[in-house]
Amino acid sequence: MGLEVSAMDGRVMLVTGGTGALGSAVSLAALRAGATVVVTYRDEREWMTLTDRAPQGGRERLQGIRADVANGESVRRLIDEVTARHGRLDALINTVGGFAGGDLVATDERAWDGMLTLNLRSAYLCCHAALPTMLAAGRGRIVNVASRSVVPPAGGFIAYTVSKAGVIALTQALAQEVRGRGVTVNAVLPSTMDTEANRRAMPSADRRTWVPTDSVARAILFLASDAAADVTGTLLAV
Instruction: List beta partners, residue 142.
Output: 92, 185
- Cα Rg, the chain, nearest whole Å: 17
User: d(Cα 98, Cα 145) in Å, to the nearest integer?
Assistant: 11
User: Which amino acid, one-letter code, is at 55?
Assistant: P
Q: Specify whether the CB–CB gap between 82 and 12 falls below 8 A.
A: yes
User: d(Cα 55, Cα 59) in Å, to the nearest integer?
Assistant: 7
Is 124 tagged catalytic? no
Complete DSSP assignment for 115-150: HIIIIIIHHHHHHHHHHHHHHHHT-EEEEEE--GGG
Q: Which one is catalytic: 47, 157, 160, 222?
A: 160
Q: Specify whether the CB–CB gap between 8 and 30 falls below 8 A.
A: yes
CA quadruple 19, 22, 26, 27: dihedral, nearest 10: 10
The residues annotated as belonging to the active site are: 160
